[in-house]
Structure 1
Amino acid sequence: MDKPALLQRIVATLEQDMEVLRRAAQTAYEAATAEENIAENKYDTLGLEASYLATGQARRTAEIRQALVTYQQLLLRDYDPARGIQIGCLVTLEDEDGQQRRLFLGPEGAGLKIGEGAEQVTVITPRAPLGQQMLGKRVDDEISLVVNGLAQVQFIIAVS
């Protein structure tokens, strides 16, 4: 999958996620304000719980909206070995066992998975430890992270 196609799929996924959350927040808001959910005593918290849920969903919708705007404005550039890995790079890592994974260093949307199988790309950001380590690195560089007390070494085998 090339970067322009990946960017289109990220935008489409964020749009879909935002719409699903918007509808869920609307449903929770309606439940929070429904007349039958007015508290009859101090133990009747259905309306309050729905209100908390609606607030959280509205907040998450705003986060996704911001990520969507950021990706819609993202200018993809070709990889420049002199600068190393930057936001907008598609990176292939290989661990010591030969397992490969593809990562897109994006400005937002960490954890988003696009595609399936060998074509799957995971979005990470520079705020993640792996994203921080990748910034400025080049093909054949090594990245080492400690996860659950174990050092994991990965090699950058391709960048676009």
Structure 2
Amino acid sequence: MNKQQLLDQLLCRLQGELSTTQDAVNQAHDNAVHEQSKPENQYDTLALESAYLAHGQAVRAADLQRQVVILKHLKLPACSADSAVVVGALVQLRDALSGILQWLWLLPVAGGIDLRFDDMGITTITPEAPLGQKLLGNYIDDEIRLSLGSNKKCFHIVAVY
């Protein structure tokens, strides 16, 4: 698996989302200051709502920009079969109950994004996620137990790349 190609794919997705978000910021800002948005009475809140929307979209755009910068400067670790799970590692897990295999990519930002590589699905996860916290520092064949409320899961680390 080529982590650099995966990173390029992820950056492309984030930059596309950033572009869309910037367009939404501009549209919401234009709506907030447009002459037709002037309140006609005290209950007319269209301009105020548009301003709140523009602010929220601007915060999202700033967060996306931060994620892009972090990922552009990320040093991808070279992991081997005897490596511990670190930020930047690709980890294959087997669900102990169902036997289902899944690939996770532990990154400092941009969790929850599904990527594809050679017909394999890979999901990004951050160290702040409960499973991400549990993975850090573990090795192949280690068992990861996760409790989310009454839901209990058990995974085995199959590969670290």
* Seq. identity, %: 36
Aligned twin of 1:143: 144
CA distance, structure 2, for counterparts of residue 43 and residue 128 of structure 1: 42
Distance 1:82 1:99 in 2: 23
* One-letter code aligned to 1:156: I
Of 128-137 and 80-89, more deviation after overlay is shown by 80-89
Q: 1:82 to 1:159 in 2, by over 3 A?
A: closer
Q: Using a 3 Å threshold, how does the CA distance of structure 1 residues 82 and 92 change in structure 2: closer, same or farther?
A: closer
Structure 2, gaps ≥5 residues long = none
Find the counterpart in structure 1 of residue 70 from structure 2: 70
Q: Supply the AA of the counterpart residue of 1:132.
A: Q
Q: Give 1:77 shift.
A: 1.5
Q: Gaps (5+ residues) in structure 1?
A: none
C-alpha displacement of 1:81: 6.0
Distance 1:30 1:116, change over 3 A: farther
C-alpha distance in 1 between matches for 2:26 and 2:121: 32
RMSD over aligned Cα, in angstroms? 1.7
How many residues align? The count is: 160
TM-score, scaled to structure 2: 0.93
Once structures 1 and 2 are overlaid, which stretch shifts more, 144-153 or 40-49? 144-153
In structure 2, the residue matched to 1:44 is: 44
Corresponding residue for 1:30?
A: 30
- Tell me the residue number matched to 1:4: 4
Runs of 4 or more off by more than 3 Å in structure 1?
80-83
Q: Is this contact kept in 1: 2:81–2:159, CA < 8 A?
A: no
Report 1:7-156 matches (<5 A): 7-79=7-79, 84-96=84-96, 97-115=98-116, 119-156=120-157
